Structure 1
Amino acid sequence: MGPSISLNDVGLRYENNIVLQDISVSLDAGKCHVIMGPNGGGKTSLLRSILGLTPFKGEINVNWTDSKGKIGYVPQKATFEPSLPLTVLDFILLNQSRSPLFFNFNKKHKVKALAQLARLGMADRAMFRMGQLSGGEQQRVLFAQALLDNPDLLILDEPTNGMDDQGVRYFESLISDLVKEQKTILVVHHDISAVRRLEATVHVVNGVLIESGDASEVLQTNKIEQLFNHYRSTPVSDVVNDSTVNSEVA
Structure 2
Amino acid sequence: MGPGIHLNNVGLKYGDNIILHDINHVFAPGQCHVVMGPNGGGKTSLLRSVLGLTPFSGEIQVQWPGEQKGKVGYVPQKATFESSLPLTVMDFILLNQTRMPLFWPKWHRRAKAKAYALQQLERVGMAERAERRMGQLSGGEQQRVLFAQALLDNPDLLVLDEPTTGMDEQGVRYLESLMHELVAEGKTVLAVHHDVTAVRRLNAQVHVVNRQLVDSGFVADVLIPEKIERLFNHYSAPSLPSKTNLEDAA
TM-score by length of 1: 0.91
Alpha-carbon distance in structure 2 between the residues aligned to 1:153 and 1:166: 24
- Kindly state the Cα deviation for residue 127 of structure 1 after the two structures are TM-superposed: 0.4
2:247: which partner in 1? none
Is the Cα contact below 8 Å between 2:100 and 2:113 reproduced in 1? Answer: no
- Kindly state the Cα deviation for residue 208 of structure 1 after the two structures are TM-superposed: 0.5
SS in 1 for 2:93: helix
2:55: which partner in 1? 55
2:27: which partner in 1? 27
SS in 2 for 1:24: strand
1:82: which partner in 2? 83
- Kindly state the Cα deviation for residue 15 of structure 1 after the two structures are TM-superposed: 1.4
Q: Does 1:133 align with 2:137?
A: yes
Closer/same/farther in 2, CA of residues 58 and 97 from structure 1, 3 Å limit: closer
Alpha-carbon distance in structure 2 between the residues aligned to 1:29 and 1:99: 30
- Kindly state the Cα deviation for residue 221 of structure 1 after the two structures are TM-superposed: 1.0
Is the Cα contact below 8 Å between 2:81 and 2:135 reproduced in 1? Answer: yes
1:8: which partner in 2? 8
- Kindly state the Cα deviation for residue 231 of structure 1 after the two structures are TM-superposed: 2.2
Alpha-carbon distance in structure 1 between the residues aligned to 2:161 and 2:90: 23
**Structure with higher RCO (Cα < 8 A, 6+ apart):** 1
1:208: which partner in 2? 212
Is the Cα contact below 8 Å between 1:97 and 1:109 reproduced in 2? Answer: no
Q: How does 1:13-162 map to 2 (within 5 A)?
A: 13-66=13-66, 67-97=68-98, 101-103=102-104, 106-162=110-166
Alpha-carbon distance in structure 1 between the residues aligned to 2:9 and 2:22: 4
Alpha-carbon distance in structure 1 between the residues aligned to 2:13 and 2:237: 19
1:246: which partner in 2? none
The number of residues matched between the two structures is: 235
Alpha-carbon distance in structure 1 between the residues aligned to 2:143 and 2:82: 15
Is the Cα contact below 8 Å between 1:207 and 1:232 reproduced in 2? Answer: no
Alpha-carbon distance in structure 1 between the residues aligned to 2:237 and 2:156: 36
Consecutive unaligned residues in structure 1, runs of 5 or more: 236-250
Alpha-carbon distance in structure 2 between the residues aligned to 1:51 and 1:124: 32
Alpha-carbon distance in structure 2 between the residues aligned to 1:234 and 1:213: 26
Alpha-carbon distance in structure 2 between the residues aligned to 1:38 and 1:184: 24
Alpha-carbon distance in structure 2 between the residues aligned to 1:234 and 1:112: 52
**What one-letter code is carried by the residue in structure 1 that aligns with 2:85?**
L
SS in 2 for 1:230: strand
**What one-letter code is carried by the residue in structure 1 that aligns with 2:35?**
I
- Kindly state the Cα deviation for residue 148 of structure 1 after the two structures are TM-superposed: 0.2
Is the Cα contact below 8 Å between 2:161 and 2:191 reproduced in 1? Answer: yes
Q: Does 1:184 align with 2:184?
A: no
SS in 2 for 1:127: coil
Closer/same/farther in 2, CA of residues 232 and 224 from structure 1, 3 Å limit: farther
Q: Deviations over 1:66-89 (max 9, x none)?
A: 011000000000000000000000
SS in 1 for 2:97: helix
SS in 2 for 1:55: coil
- Kindly state the Cα deviation for residue 101 of structure 1 after the two structures are TM-superposed: 4.4
Aligned identity (percent) is: 69
2:228: which partner in 1? 224
Q: Does 1:198 align with 2:199?
A: no
- Kindly state the Cα deviation for residue 234 of structure 1 after the two structures are TM-superposed: 6.4
